[in-house]
Chain A
Amino acid sequence: MWIETDGFLPVYLLTGFLGSGKTTLLKRILADPAFADTAVLINEFGEIGLDHDLVERVDGEMVLLRSGCVCCTVRGELAATLKDLYSRRERGLLPPFRRVIIESTGLADPFPVLSTIKADPVLRHHFCAGSVITTVDAVNGLRQLDTYIESNRQAAIADRLVVTKTDLVMDGEGQALRERLRVLNPDAPILKAADPDLDLSSLIAVQTDVSPSSSLSPSGFYCEEPTQLISADGMPHQAAISSIALRIDRPVDWTAFGLWLTMLLNRHGGRVLRVKGILNLSGEERPVAVHGVQHLVHIPVHMEEWPSDDRASRLVFILDGLDGGVLKRSFEAFTLAPVPQRSSAAPSLIAAQ
């Protein structure tokens, strides 16, 4: 993950299905001295907020978003709340917090939170999207992944996966859940909440070592059979979350890639849960790192140098119901730099002016 934090306050999203231990993890996080300068927003579903009563100690500020799910319906409220937090911080009414954590409801699709920050004309100058931390319950996690689309999306979109309640299950079950998560999200670190050595600050640390080798599954390709899932309100949802890892030896044309990805996201953004990778661009010595979540693409980072000797482009897509094979073919057809003998008259004409 590559997040632009310079001068911006990162907003981390803590998500996970109902009862998966988000609040417990949040309490632990807030008790950690490394998180002393943290403002917390808790978002709850239902008439009466309960979670905020369970969070005993909050350094900084806690705001309860009462309107329910952090979905499109409360995006305005989320934006207003963040602006208010920032305003109070600037006026000295609040301690100068350095990060914000939003604990979302167990039913939220995490994407709108990220897009709110990016889309709001005020927020985007002060805040940036931090990592998405998803808790997965070791006891019920597998069943939830088999049943609920929200659970799959939360796992697929995560930058960090935290498995909770591992002390309540047998080793075999834990392993099955781990493998399932690996399939949904090949490159997010999977941490155990019960691990005594768990370094909480690693949850929000910016991953500077872009290690492409670890970001790809060895098989390079995984596709799940479509299954019938339901959303938490009982509506059926045909879904097959799958991940596909591409490895491309030919250089990629950045302009064509930009056109292709914007076209893909315009048409299928809701189903491209994640795109992440490193590209070898034609005409460039340095690689570029791209990172997108659904319709939102972070500003690509043109890296100083290659992290290893491997100069191939590598991309991971996490897809919901899209055919990875077709996507691969489309990527190759649209974005690979033309072979050298192909003439491109227009650019050279202009260059000669």
Chain B
Amino acid sequence: MCSLCGVLGSNEHWTDAAARPGVFTRGRATPDRRRERVERVRAANEMLAGFGLVLSDWQGASFVLSTKTGRTEIVEDLGHLWPAAERLVGRACDPLDAAFIARMEARCVD
């Protein structure tokens, strides 16, 4: 448990099971782990951009999700990202939404 915020160390999220063991293991600050987290943040921000949200890494331990007006939530892992995003923007983040898909497709063409 983190003695500052009282967050219980949770089990690994399924997305942490990368092919390179240890890259998402907490308590290790290897460059690999930092790199994976940066890549996660980058990929997440591509998806979150249309909602006016920005995700950033927080101390290599959690993520911080913010709106453009500064409302912020700490996100433990990817399992908590989308419910938090929906709370902050007040609407659904739906990957089956036609406009959302079109935006992601446009990104691929760029």
Chain A residues packing against B (C-beta within 8 Å): 124, 253-256, 258-264, 266-268, 281, 284, 286, 288, 297-302, 322-323, 326-327, 329-330, 332-334, 336, 338-339, 342, 344, 346-347, 350-351, 353
Contacts and interface: CB of A to CB of B under 8 A. Distances in A.
A346 B43 CA distance: 11
Given A266-B93, A347-B38, A353-B31, A259 B17 contact: no
Given A124-B11, A286-B19, A299-B14, A264 B43 contact: no
Given A267-B93, A302-B19, A351-B35, A334 B47 contact: yes
A250 to B, nearest CB: 10
Contact of B105 (A259, A263, A333, A351): A333
Contact of A267 (B19, B35, B92): B92
Contact of A264 (B14, B36, B38, B95): B95
| Residue among B43, B47, B94 having the largest count of chain A Cβ atoms under 10 Å | B43
Interface in B56-103: 78-79, 81-83, 86, 92-96, 98, 101-102
28 contacts: A253-B43, A255-B36, A255-B40, A258-B15, A259-B47, A260-B47, A262-B15, A262-B78, A262-B79, A262-B82, A263-B82, A263-B93, A263-B95, A266-B86, A267-B93, A267-B94, A267-B96, A301-B17, A302-B19, A326-B101, A334-B95, A336-B108, A344-B42, A346-B38, A346-B41, A346-B42, A347-B35, A350-B34
Contacts, number: 107
Contacts of A281: 19
Task: Please report whether the interface of chain A is mostly helix, strand, loop or mixed according to DSSP.
Answer: helix
A330 B101 contact: yes
A298 B14 contact: yes
Question: Which residue, of A300, A327, A333, A353, has the highest number of chain B Cβ atoms within 10 A?
Answer: A333
A333 B104 contact: yes
A268 B38 CA distance: 27
Contacts of B12: 299
A131 B38 CA distance: 36
Contacts of B19: 254, 281, 284, 286, 288, 302
A330 B95 CA distance: 6
B14 A267 contact: no
A342 B43 contact: no
Given A334-B95, A347-B38, A266 B82 contact: yes
A298 B12 CA distance: 11
Given A259-B44, A281-B19, 18 more contacts: A253-B43, A255-B36, A255-B40, A262-B79, A263-B47, A264-B95, A267-B96, A284-B19, A302-B17, A302-B18, A326-B96, A327-B96, A333-B105, A334-B104, A336-B108, A339-B108, A346-B39, A350-B35
